[in-house]
Amino acid sequence: MLRWVAGAAGSLTALPALTACGQTVGAARATRQAPTRRGQKVKLVFWTWVPMQKTVDLWNRTHPDIQVEMQTIPQNVTGGYQKMHASLTAGNPPDLAQVEYHELPSFMLVNGLTNLSEYGADELRDSYVPWQWQQGVFDGEVYTVPQASGPMGLFYRRDLFAKWGIATPTTWAEFEAAARVVKARGNGARLCAFAPNQPSWFAAMCWQRGARWVRTEGDTWVVDMDDDLSREVAEYWERMVRDDLVFVEPDMSNAWYKHVQTGQISAWIGPQWGDALLRGNAPGTAGKWRVALLPQWKEGQKASANWGGSSTAILQGTRHPREALRFAHWINTDRRAVDLNVSVGYGWPAAAGVFRGSALDKPDPFFGGQRYNDVFTVSDRAIDTSWKWSPTTDADFAQLQDAFGAAIDGEGSLTGALADAQNSTVDNLKAKGLTARSAR
């Protein structure tokens, strides 16, 4: 029987006690600090999908006693996370790994993370934004170092909006009206794309609307994905698809990048870390992009959401937890490191107080000289940090993605997919030995 209290549980606020019965718990090897001799070099292995080699090189140059080898892994369940879980089972994990916030509960269920409070991590708390710090706090103990998040905004082509006579939309009704103008005047262009393969993006849209997909009552997980607010979001995008106002294609795919490069797509509802994707994959559009706050469901509202966010985790089984914690803290708080990380799409830093004077805090030629990160500063403050993730998010999202794909192919609807996902999420939680029920 596993019992833990999540200061985040993949969520943004404290959760009550959770109990998983029948769950197989335990990595093959437990973390233990290995003794080191004077002058001995320690070697750490770090798995990540963000190209942070320059940051790691800087660490290695300035910390000759602790050398880090960065290994690139895929950012997906069947690649990177499957590899991490396999390494835990085999007893040969890397010392450190990038783990997204919503994945942390699944690692806790298999005892996959090192209790960093035993190595002094609590003393680092004030160095980080509180809600991001709480992502890795379980049962009052620290299990991971926060890395970055993804406050959302509206990336848009200012030149094309001017050409078509579109004002920057401040509400979702205006956004839909803009999509109709683009369809009528854009010679085959569309305002944006709907990506059925991105349930995490859709979750962020529901998050902004005020939905809460999971909550806890005592030891019970309550699932509420099929609520009225989420259905409103689903109906909105279903109409956008049905009326041919958007391309239906995976974002961050070759087809999507081509549409972005050629101006066939003129807007993207995306996270702050999306700036590097646009810059790196559509260099010919430099100077034409701007960033605005997310459109609102009601005029005058100021709601935002988060898409993505990761921690630097120290996996269960390392022989150098103290050295790994030292590196994890440095890579996420040193100003030189943060600037290097930001340049490769690392995300919105979790370190407190690093924005002013950083690489984020300046006009950017790619965005026409706009201080576009000022927009994300406002967005970050407007995120409702009561959103929670379930310990079965991987399976939940996979099933929602399948249901969305079927709906796009004419088998069902997006709103029907939410109802199916709600039932399957309850089943997924129960399969983990957790107590769960549907909210309706």
Residue ranges of the domains in the chain? 2-149+308-374, 151-305+387-438
Residue 135 CA to residue 311 CA, distance in Å, equals: 8
Torsion of CA 392, 394, 396, 399, to 10 degrees: -150
Instruction: Give the span between the Cα atoms of 112 and 104, in whole angstroms.
Output: 9
Q: Which of 36, 44, 82 is nearest to 63 (CA)?
A: 44
Interval 283-330: pLDDT, tens = 999 999 999 999 999 999 999 999 999 999 999 999 999 999 999 999
Across 38-63, average pLDDT:
95
Each residue's pLDDT tens digit, 326-366: 999 999 999 999 999 998 888 899 999 888 888 899 999 99
Its pTM stands at 0.89
Distance CA 76, CA 72 (A): 12
In this prediction, residue 386 carries a pLDDT of 86
305-339 as b/e, with b when 16 or more CB fall inside 10 Å? bbbbbbbbbbbbbbbbbbbbbbbbbbbbbbeebbb
- Position 11 pLDDT exceeds 60: no
- What is the pLDDT, as a whole number, of residue 359? 85
Buried b or exposed e, range 159-187, using 16+ CB within 10 angstroms? bbbeebebebbbebebbbebbeebbeebe
pLDDT > 90 fraction of the chain, expressed in percent and rounded: 82
CATH 3.40.50.2300 fits domain 151-305+387-438: no
Q: What is the mean pLDDT of residues 208-234?
A: 95
The two beta strands, 17-20 and 2-5, are antiparallel
Examine the pLDDT at 18 and tell me if it is beyond 50.
no
Can you tell me the mean pLDDT for 174-182? 98
Across the range 170-193, mean pLDDT stands at 98
What mean pLDDT comes out for the span 136-142?
Answer: 92
Average pLDDT on 122-129 reads 96
pLDDT over threshold 80, residue 13: no
- Asked if residue 98 has pLDDT above 80, the reply is yes
Residues 370-416 pLDDT 10s: 999 999 999 999 999 888 888 899 899 999 999 999 999 999 999 99
pLDDT per position as a tens digit, 224-271 = 999 999 999 999 999 999 999 999 999 999 999 999 999 999 999 999
Which neighbouring-strand residues pair with 156? 267, 290
Tell me what the mean pLDDT of segment 148-152 comes to.
96
- Label the pairing between strands 141-142 and 137-138: antiparallel
* pLDDT value for 25: 55
Q: At the fourth CATH level, which superfamily is domain 2-149+308-374?
A: Periplasmic binding protein-like II (3.40.190.10)
Average per-residue pLDDT for the chain? 91
